[in-house]
Structure 1
Amino acid sequence: MSVPQALEAASPLQICRLMRPDDANIVGNVHGGIILKMIEEAGCIIGTRHCNTQNGDRCLAALVRVEKTEFLFPMFIGEVAHVTAEITYTSKHSLEVQVKVIAENLLTGAKKLANKAALWYVPCSLQNVEKIMDVPPIKYATAEDEEQGRKRYEAQKLEREKKGGGGGHFPTPVPPPADDSPKEQHTVGYSQSSLIHLVAPSDCTLHNNVHGGVTMKLMDEVAGIVAFRHCNTNIVTASVEAINFHRKIHKGCVVTVTGRLTFVSNKSMEIEVLVDASSLMEAKKQKYRAVSAFFNFISLDKDNKPLPVPALKIEGEEEQRRFEEGKARYLQNKAKRLADKERKQ
């Protein structure tokens, strides 16, 4: 059997969009979910184009994982988002797309790197959605680029398998608060929030599955509500830890998106967001865990400067366990940021 010939990586794709009032909160900060949706759209387009450069079934690139997404600077109404996507690694059945978002101020001409993310896609046949197509290999500028890409591929594959990325079933959704009595402010139960959404055709791909960007937008909205309830101030998305897409969500499903605080530092909040889905049409309406992620938010004053975050009041062993796990992630990320800063100096 012949080995597929490596192709030149598809030219970087760029999409631009003016940020409008309905993209932002009441103080003018663009919602993180809007940016996540644009990032995923760019990744899906370039991934689908690349995978359809070969003969055989036509396919659509389906999102399976988003690596940590960094929100370096807030974006505002009236700015133009320049979203650039580039394929940086291909395996036999998946591809990595790295995306950067540049915010342009039209009045001053100033530009800044606002966001960057790495996404992983698999190509699914349009004739048989369960059939995963081969990905055309790309040529790398250097052997080191290929080796680094392979390491990223192995790392994300291991993480997805640990989190149930192979279609694992998560039967237990996040339980609602035990009763409707008022909760003490700054507790997990006080700010925990849920959103219920019926998946419509406009939310879906050609496969009648939900666009990854639509799901991420809903997740960011719920995380934002949790963060606002805890702080009662202007809040913005600071980063998103890896988003794992465990199972597909189909048209006609009802999704329940639930967010809860897991850890709070002096100036940041970690919010676990879980997406559970069930079919509205099928007789057995068993819920399953579809997506999971951790969102990090910060509180801002009127000048967009970080504010101290109220401490989280822990109740019970389970909340304490999640708090300690969140603290470990926070310290790990902080150490990584410091190491990156030292390396650049």
Structure 2
Amino acid sequence: MSVPQMREASPSSLQLCRVMRPDDANIMGNVHGGIILKMIEEAGAIVGTRHCNTLNGERCWVALVRVEKTEFLVPVFIGEVVHVSAEITFTSKHSLEVQVKVMAENILKGTKKLANKAALWYVPCSLENADKILEVPPIKYASAEQEEMGRKRYEAQKIVRWETKARIEEVLPPPLNPEPHTVGFSQSSLIHLLGPSDCTISDYVYGGVTMKLMDEVAGIVAARHCNTKIVTASVEAINFHRKIKKGCVVTVTGRLTFASNRSMEIEALVDAASLVDDEKVSYRAVSAFFTYISLDKDNKPLPVPLLKIEGEEEQRRFEEGKARYLQNKAKRLADRAPAVTQ
């Protein structure tokens, strides 16, 4: 049995590691993207909660509110040891940014590879009153420039979070007997009752639990559309709109929004409703876009079937997804271009 290890570098940093087991992976031996996302969030939550409780005063836990775009750089396989390093890189009055790096180690060959990088934003919530947001102890920056760059990231994510909250849309059930390669044909949902093992000591669900469920349902959508082996390539920013409490039932829905000849964008949405409270109205808790690619038995990319669009709403979502795809493609090309010296 593997035992998770932790090495503390400073009060604002943390490292976790564990070996990847068969139940972490798909039938081809690739570790699920949701498992990696869950480990990333666990490391962020630990270092964030520890930091926010360094001062004497009201005790708190940190709630995840946003994960920036995350690239899955290389696949991780059964038997590899995953090292997750988390460090607090910016603090505002009521929030903190944690940057996370994931390394995968092959202990038989003695090699390591960078698998993921992510940036997460948390807010500290009082243990006595989860709706009360507490102040974050400041961190020391290596330079004024580093602090200013963090402030710019903070302002940018705050604006986008509010814009996303304003665009919450209803999810309609798929039609009966939908045609193959349509949105309705691959649309899928998972229903999960949140129990004690899914939640923090304050009885609110871990962000990593919902991200894992979102990756699972998005993977089902991608596999249904392609009928091949699929793998998570990236996740656009994940926005946590509202907290989810123990005893809630979450409905996690995935639907295709855009497909190029090499990739699929899938919108994953989490709606929650309480089983035990008198108020049982469902509400949108989390939303994100996942990108998947289709692979053959040798892990080589395969063409993605054309997505058949039906109706104005699907066309609008397709055009929005295409714009995100082109923007990300342009950014990747710019990152690869050699620097011009003068």
- TM-score normalised according to structure 1 size: 0.93
Q: For residue 36 of structure 1, what is the aligned residue in structure 2? A: 37
Residue type of the partner of 2:77? F
- SS at 1:163's partner residue? helix
- Contact 2:12–2:48 (Cα < 8 Å) also in 1: no
List alignment gaps of at least 5 residues for structure 2. Answer: 1-8
Structure 2 residue corresponding to 1:188, chosen from 168, 183, 187? 183
**Secondary structure at the residue paired with 1:306?**
coil
Give the CA deviation at 1:178: 3.1
- Correspondence for 1:4: none
Does the 8 A contact of 1:191 with 1:227 survive in 2? Answer: yes
Cα separation, 2, equivalents of 1:116 and 1:12:
15
Which residue of structure 1 lines up, in the alignment, with residue 84 of structure 2? 83
RMSD between aligned residues = 1.5
Distance in 2 separating the partners of 1:163 and 1:228: 27
Deviant stretches of 4+, over 4 Å? none
Matched to 2:86, the amino acid is A
Q: Distance in 2 between matches of 1:269 and 1:178?
A: 21
Equivalent residue for 1:266?
Answer: 261
1:97 aligns with 2:98: yes
Letter of the aligned partner of 1:186 in structure 2?
Answer: H
The residue correspondences of 1:1-345 to structure 2 (distance < 5 A) are 10-164=11-165, 173-179=170-176, 182-342=177-337
Shift of 1:162: 1.1
Contact in 2 for aligned 1:169/1:288 (Cα 8 Å): no
Q: Could you report, residue by residue, the CA deviation over 1:28-79 in whole angstroms, capped at 9, with x for unpaired residues?
A: 0000000000000000000011111111011111101000011000100010
Distance 1:344 1:250, change over 3 A: farther
Report the Cα offset of residue 307 of structure 1: 1.2
CA separation in 2, counterparts of 1:74 and 1:169? 33
After superposition, the C-alpha distances for 1:162-217 in whole angstroms (9 at most, x for unaligned) are: 122xxx795x64111133xx221111111000000111111111111110000000
Distance across 2 between alignment mates of 1:128 and 1:287? 22
Cα separation, partners in 2 of 1:276 and 1:343, compared to 1, 3 Å:
farther
Structure 2 vs 1, CA of residues 227 and 169 (structure 1 numbering), >3 Å: closer, same or farther?
closer
TM-score normalised by the chain length of structure 2: 0.94
Residue 11 of structure 1: CA displacement? 4.8
- Letter of the aligned partner of 2:90 in structure 1? Y
SS across alignment from 1:331: helix
Change (3 A) 1:133 1:11: closer
- Once the two structures are TM-superposed, the CA of residue 20 in structure 1 deviates from its matched residue by 0.4
In structure 1, what is the Cα distance between the partners aligned to 2:158 and 2:332? 23
How many residues are aligned here? 332
